[in-house]
Structure 1
Amino acid sequence: MEAHKIIVAIFILALASSLTFASDPSPLQDFCVAINDPKGSVFVNGKFCKDAKLAKADDFYFSGNTYAVAFAGLSSENPGVITIANAVFGSNPSINTDILAKAFNLDRKMVKNLQSEF
C-alpha cells in the first residue's frame, strides 16, 4: 500500500512539473524599431519591425525635429494632451459620484467639484 502512495505522489509531481515548463508560443515584444523593408523583419501588431536581436542603441536616437515625428506618429493634433478627465468627470449622463470617489480614492466633495468644472 505504501508503494501505491509513492507512485501516486510521483505521478502528481510529474504532472505538476510539466505545467511549469509551459510558455506562450508568441510572447509580446517590448519595442518595435520601424523598418521599411519587410525582408528579414518581424511582423508585430500590424507593423514591420526590426528583429529585436539586431536592434542597436542608434536605432533609438533621433537628432531631427521631434515635433514633426510626435505629430506624424500620434493620432491627436495635440500630442501630450490627456482627455480622459473630460470623458470621466464630464460625461453625459454623469457617472455616479460614489463610483468615481472610490475609483480615484477621492472624497465625494472633490468629485462633485471636478464634475462642476466640465
Structure 2
Amino acid sequence: MKISAFHFTSFIAVLAVVSSPAYAYDPDPLQDFCVAVNDSKAAVFVNGKICRDPKTVTSDDFFICGFNKPGNTSNPFGSRVTHAFVDDLPGLNTLGISMVRIDIEPNGVNPAHEHPRASEILVVLEGTLYVGFITTNPPNPNDKNKLFAKILHPGDVFVFPKGLIHFQYNIGKTSAVAIASLNSQNPGIMTLSKAVFGSEPPVRPDVLTKSFQVDEEVVEDLQSLPWMGNN
C-alpha cells in the first residue's frame, strides 16, 4: 500500500505530539497564597508586584550596595542574613533570581529553615561551615529522614534543594561569610523554631506537646521566648 506524502507528514506530526512531553504547567507561586476573586476590577499583580512604567525606570532599579559589609550578628543565633530579594532590588521582578550574604560568628548558626519557592547554591568566602539539608518522605513509615551534610571551607560550594530544611553552622574559630543565590525573586524564609513556637496567634500547646512528645511546660517555655529572625 502506497503512502502519500501528506499522510506520511500527518503521521509524523501526530507521533511528535503523542511522544513529546507536555510543556504546559502552572507557574510556581511567588506569594504565600493568592485567594481567588471573581471580580474583573480587582488589582492584578505580576509575581506579587505591579510593574513600573518602563519610561520611569532607572539604573538604580537594578542596583544594590552593601554586600561587602558584615551583617550585625548580635542576636541569639549569632548570625545575620542580608538579602537582595525583589523588595530590596525592584529590578529582580520576573527574573526568578535573588541573592543573600550570610555572616555567622563562631558557634553561631543560620538556624534550620526552608525556602518554599527556591533552591539555593552557597559558596563560602571565609571561615568553616558545617552545612546540611534533610530529605522528605522516607520510603517506609519507620525509616528516618536522611541528612546530607558537609564541612565547607573557603571556595567550597553546596546546594540546598527547593523546599528542604537546611542550616549553616560555624564550627571554626573565626567569623564565617558565605554568599548564596536562589532561583526565585521572593524565595520565602520559614525558620522552623520561630514559625512553630513564635506564631501569632500561638499554636495550642497540646498540639505541640503531642507533636514533639515533650511536657507542656517545655512548650509553654518555648512559646514565651521572644522569637526573632536573623534577616
Give the number of the structure whose alpha-carbon radius of gyration is greater: 1
Task: Give TM-score, length-normalised by structure 1.
Answer: 0.35
> By percentage of residues, which structure has more helix?
1
Decide which structure has greater strand share: 2
Give the TM-score normalised by the residue count of structure 2.
0.19
- If asked which structure has higher relative contact order (CA below 8 Å, sep 6+), I would say 2
